[in-house]
Amino acid sequence: MKTHFVILLVITALASQSCKEKISKPSAGPEAPVVETHESTIDDCYIEDFSHVLNANQFEDLFDEQKVYNDTLWMNEGSEFVYVTKTIGCPSITAYWKNRDFSDLVKVSAVDRIVLDNNTDDYFHCDDLKSRAGVEMRMTLRELVELNEDEIEFAGFGWDQSGIITSFGKGNLSNSDLTLYLDFKDSRENNFKYPDGSEGDQLFNSGEDKINPDALVVVKMESKYSSIK
């Protein structure tokens, strides 16, 4: 589904069970401004559409039917301290902020699982969020390559950057601001073990004979914003 936005002046960000935007468009005459409201269900909410969110309070307003909380995290093996706002439930989204007052959006990250109150994962798949580039959560590597129209390079599994896509080659996704992560489709099954030779800091190409493109799916997507552009 393609959603067209008329954006001249963002006055606030509100939601009801989903990503809803209230957008103000000034009128040509002396009358009060006309307010156009775009209401979308979570089924047509896109990870790229958070650019108007200025701080944690506005982010929380987008998900007023979900629990939202602020947190601080050490990342990149303890080398980076970040400020985040997380949703609890589906969609499972984390906003990363540049400042300690939880303002200046850096990136938004979404995962394919439901995060519970105790910050553990419920293994029900949550695939409501998608990308305007055509990427959807739980999309297989085969489908991703078809969308990209070029082979894809990605990292090994079972470490901090598990399954991160490092290159889209010269494909359709090569100029996007998306960062995608893959994992095995059945990785959350009981007693799952990564296949021999698939783990660790190494690179794979989707065109390799040993790669099964139907066994790997998109489990995480991130969209970068102004702070790090």
Residue 169 has pLDDT above 60, yes or no: yes
The alpha carbons of the chain give a radius of gyration, in whole angstroms, of: 19
Burial 37-66 (b: 16+ CB within 10 A, else e): eeebebeebbbbbbeebebbebbbbbbeeb
Burial (CB count <10 Å: 0-12, 13-18, 19+), residue 171: middle
For residue 116, what pLDDT band results from cuts at 50, 70 and 90?
Answer: low
Q: How far is CA 212 from CA 85, 215, 227, in A?
A: 35, 6, 37
Q: pTM surpassing 0.95? A: no
Cα 31 to the chain's mean position, in Å? 40
Contact 188, 123 (CB under 8 A): yes
pLDDT value, residue 124:
53
What integer is the mean pLDDT of 67-95? 79
- In sequence order, what are the residues at sequence separation of 6 or more whose Cβ sits closer than 8 angstroms to the Cβ of residue 157? 163, 183, 184, 187, 194, 198, 199, 200
Least Cα distance to 133 among 168, 185, 166, 157 occurs for: 168
Residue with tokens 């939202």: 68
Are the C-beta atoms of 68 and 82 separated by less than 8 Å?
no
Task: Give 189's contacts (C-beta < 8 A, 6+ positions apart).
Answer: none
- What are 64-73's contacts with CB under 8 Å, separation 24+? 64/14, 64/15, 64/16, 65/15, 65/16, 65/17, 67/117, 70/102
Q: What does the alpha-carbon distance between residue 188 and residue 166 come to, in Å, rounded to a whole number? A: 23
Q: Does the pLDDT value for residue 174 go beyond 60?
A: yes
Of residues 176 and 205, the one with the higher pLDDT is 205
Domain residue ranges of the chain, discontinuous segments joined by +: 9-125, 141-222
Residue 54 pLDDT? 87
Read off the tokens for 47: 């990870």
